[in-house]
Amino acid sequence: MANEKLENKRWIIAIGAIVMQLCLGTVYAWSVFKKPLIAAHGWGETETQMAFMILMLVVGFAAAFGGTLVDKKGPRFVATVGGILFGIGTLLTGLADQFGSIYLLYFGYGIIGGLGNGFCYVTPIATLIRWFPDKRGLVTGLAVMGFGLGAFFMGKIAPAMIIAYKGGFTESGVAMTFYIWGVIFMVLVVAAAQLFKNPPTGWLPTGFTPAASTVSAADSYNFGQAVKTPQWWMLWAMLFLNVSAGLGLISQLSPISQDLAKATLPEGLTPEDAAKMLAIAGGAVVAYTAIFNGLGRLFWASVSDKIGRKAVFMTMFATQAVIYLLVAYGVIGTYGLFLIAGCYLLACYGGGFATMPAFAADSFGPGYIGKVYGFMLTAWACAGVLGPLVFSMFKEQALLIAACLLAMGFIVACLYKKPEKRK
C-alpha cells in the first residue's frame, strides 16, 4: 500500500513538472517581442538580441548551481526560489519597455529571469530521474516537453496581446503583456514547486529490477569523478553543438519567416496591414515549431529508451545538418517549406534536451545527477551566446555554420563509449 501511494505520488510530481516547464519555455518566444521593442525604442538588432543571449547564458549557469542546491537543499526549496525570481524578472521586463531602458531589459529579462528559469529547469529533471529509474527517457521527455510547448502558447497569444495593448502603457504594447505573464508565472511556478520531493532512499517502483549494466545510486559517479572522464566532456560537447544550432534558429524564427512570408502577401495592402499580417505569420511559425519542440522531446526521449541514447543523437545530428544545408542553398525557400523544416529542426533541438539527462544518468548514475547534469547545462549557457550571436552577426553564413556544428556533433556521438562501471 505504501509503495502504491509512492507510485501515485511520482505521477503527480510529473504533472507539476510539466506545468512548471510550460511556464519556463515561454522564453523561446523571444523573437515575437524583438521587433516591437526595436521599433518602439530604436534599439539595434544585436543590441536587442543581447537580452536573449544573456538569458541563455545565465540559465545554463543557474541550472548548474541549482543542480548542486537540489542535491543539498531539496527540490522544493530550489524550485520555489526559482519561481519567485522568474516572476520578478518577467515583471521587470515590462518595466524595461515602459521606461525604454535596454539595461533594465538585460537585468530583468536576462539576469533575474535567467536565474529563476535555470533554478526551476534543472529541479524537476533531477527529481524525476530519481522517481522514474524504469522510465528515464520517457519521464524526462514528458517534463521538458512542457518547456518546448511553452513557446507555442506565448507565440499564439503574445502577438495579439501586444497589438491589443499597443498605445497603453507603452507604444509597443509589450509592457502590459509582460506584466500579465509575470503574475501568471509567479503563481503557477511557485504552486508547482510545492509538489516536489525526493523519493525515500533506495526506493524502486514495484516489479522493477535494474539491469546489471545500469549504474546504481550506490555506484554513481560524483561530480568530481564524472568531470574527470572524457565521456562527461563528450556529452557536454554534444549538448553544446545541438543547442547552438537550435538556439540560433529560435532567435531568428520570426524575422526569417516574416521575410519569406512577404512573397505571399496580397497586393494593395497598407504598410500597417502588411506589418500586422507579417507579425501574425512570424508568430505562427514560432507557435507551430514550439509544438514540435515539445513533441520532439517526448518522441526522441521515448525512442532512446528503445534504441539507445547514442543512436538518437547520431540520427538527430545527421538529419539536421542536411536540412540546414537545404535551407542555406534555397532548396527550402518558401514560407510553407520553412515551417515544415523548422518543425523538424525544433523537434531535434528539444529531443537533445530530453535525451541528455537520461544519457548522463545511464553513464554516471542517479546518485549525484543534480550536480553532474546541472553542470552539463553550462553547455546550454555557452550555446546561448554562440548560437544567437552567429545568427545575428553572420546572417548569410549562419545556416552553413549551424550545419558544420551539427556535423561535428555527429562525429562526437559516433566516438562516444560508455564509461566503465565504478568498482
Task: Provide the residue ranges of all domains of the chain, joining segments of one domain with +.
Answer: 7-199+221-415
Position 288 scores a pLDDT of 84
Beta carbons within 10 angstroms of residue 112's beta carbon: 22
Can you read off the three cell numbers belonging to residue 322? 542536411
Instruction: Quickly state the pLDDT bin for 215 (edges 50, 70, 90).
Output: low
Q: How many Å apart are CA 71 and CA 232, to the nearest integer?
A: 19
Residue 397, SS3 per DSSP: coil
Residue type, 126: A
Q: How many Å apart are CA 175 and CA 33, to the nearest integer?
A: 10
Residue type, 340: I
pLDDT tens, residue by residue, 224-238: 899 999 999 999 999
Q: How many Å apart are CA 31 and CA 255, to the nearest integer?
A: 7
Beta carbons within 10 angstroms of residue 220's beta carbon: 18
The pLDDT of residue 1 is above 60 = no
Instruction: Quickly state the pLDDT bin for 82 (edges 50, 70, 90).
Output: very high
pLDDT tens, residue by residue, 302-325: 899 889 999 999 999 999 999 999
Percent of all residues in the chain with a pLDDT value above 70, rounded to a whole number: 96
Position 218 scores a pLDDT of 61
Name the least confident of 135-144, 314-323, 344-353, 407-416: 135-144
DSSP secondary structure code for residue 108 in this structure: I
Can you read off the three cell numbers belonging to residue 15? 504533472
Beta carbons within 10 angstroms of residue 284's beta carbon: 18
Instruction: Quickly state the pLDDT bin for 216 (edges 50, 70, 90).
Output: low
**Are the C-beta atoms of residues 274 and 265 closer than 8 Å to each other?**
yes
List C-alpha distances in Å: 144 to 139, 140, 168, 349: 9, 6, 35, 12
Position 56 scores a pLDDT of 83
CATH architecture of 7-199+221-415: Up-down Bundle (1.20)
The pLDDT of residue 3 is above 70 = no
Q: Choose between 200 and 340: higher pLDDT.
A: 340
DSSP secondary structure code for residue 27 in this structure: G
Q: How many Å apart are CA 379 and CA 413, to the nearest integer?
A: 16
Q: Is the dihedral of CA 331, 28, 388, 174 positive or negative?
A: positive
pLDDT tens, residue by residue, 31-53: 788 888 998 888 988 888 889 88
